[in-house]
Amino acid sequence: MSQLTNDAPEGILLVDKPQGITSHDVVAKMRRVFHMKKVGHAGTLDPMATGMLLILIGKATKASQYLMSMDKEYTGRVKLGVITDSQDADGEITEERPVPELTEVQVKAEMKTFIGDQYQTPPMFSAKKINGQKLYKLARQGKTVEREPRVIHISRFDITQFALPEISFIVGTSKGAYVRTIAHDLGERLGCGGHLNELRRTAVGQFRIENASTIEELENMSPSTLRKQLIPVIQAVPSHAL
């Protein structure tokens, strides 16, 4: 076996998360792949979402906070006229409204109003903690609590396909932005409500989904090939942030 396996591996692993599992599930799988406990991630993806998940191996876990602060890019699809309690397709439908005869020009104009800094209230169905309790656990009990709005930044919000009642889009966000809340808010501004029914994270900072590996690919790699997938932390994080 190569000498590469003598030292504990460390670095950033780009994983293309499939739909239907949690980010923690991916961490658990990578712990088994690398035969080590010191594995984490930098930025949760909902079970419904797919795409870029930064998995941190070994000492790279120290860079978690810096990596989580990087900007994100997503592609997704909003379905107008249907509102859910979770603001996405995993939730229960709470209201349905008729979708007006909107034009692509009208929707683009509304999307432009999202660009820049703004306050966003975290959804109840989220992993954010208030008084030590995760919001989604309270939401499942039918409870709603006061949430502090926080400043987020949206750098782009463009239509990629217009086929009412669905609108496909690409959006660039800062840390802490909830794309399903953006989709929900767009529906409200268009007067008919809506929810997010598809989401894929395509980039985190300089890391692109095109360079990520699937879980299945990683599980079938040899130890030496796995090592080659690890990006040295110093390539992504300034030394003063470590």
Q: Specify the pLDDT at position 2.
A: 32
Gyration radius of the chain over CA positions: 19
- Place 5 in a pLDDT band, splitting at 50, 70 and 90: very low
The pLDDT mean for the chain works out to 90
- Number of domains comprising the chain: 2
116 and 184 both lie in a single domain = yes
Domain shared by 99 and 130, yes or no: yes
| Average confidence (pLDDT) over 224-230 | 94
pLDDT tens for residues 25-40? 999 999 999 999 999 9
Instruction: Reply yes or no on whether 46 is catalytic.
Output: yes
> 53 falls in which pLDDT band (50, 70, 90)?
very high
**8 or 21, which is more confident?**
21
List the catalytic residue out of 16, 25, 46, 71: 46
Contact yes or no for 25/17 (Cβ under 8 A): no
What's residue 52's pLDDT?
97
- Domain shared by 213 and 199, yes or no: no
Confidence of residue 3 (pLDDT cuts 50, 70, 90): very low
Whether 143 and 166 map to the same domain: the answer is yes
Q: Do 107 and 15 have their domain in common? A: no
Domain of 155: which CATH number? 3.30.2350.10
Per-residue pLDDT tens digits for 135-160: 667 667 676 767 788 899 999 999 99
Q: Same structural domain for residues 58 and 84?
A: no
151 and 76 in one domain?
yes
**Residues 193, 83 within the same domain:** yes
Report pLDDT for 130.
66
Report phi then psi at 107, rounded to 5: -70, -40
Residues 82 and 11 in one domain: no
* Domain identity same for 97 and 150: yes
pLDDT of the residue at 6 = 55
From residue 83, alpha-carbon distances to 64, 113, 183, 208 in Å are 34, 21, 10, 31
What 142-147 contacts at long range (C-beta under 8 Å, 24+ apart), as own/partner pairs, is 147/121, 147/122
Q: What is the CATH number of the domain that holds 52?
A: 3.30.70
What is the Cα–Cα distance from 107 to 133, expressed in whole angstroms?
Answer: 37
Highest average pLDDT, of 6-10, 99-103, 134-138, comes from 99-103
* Host domain of residue 143: 72-203
Higher pLDDT, 139 or 165: 165
The answer to whether residues 106 and 183 belong to one domain is yes
Same domain, 89 and 183: yes
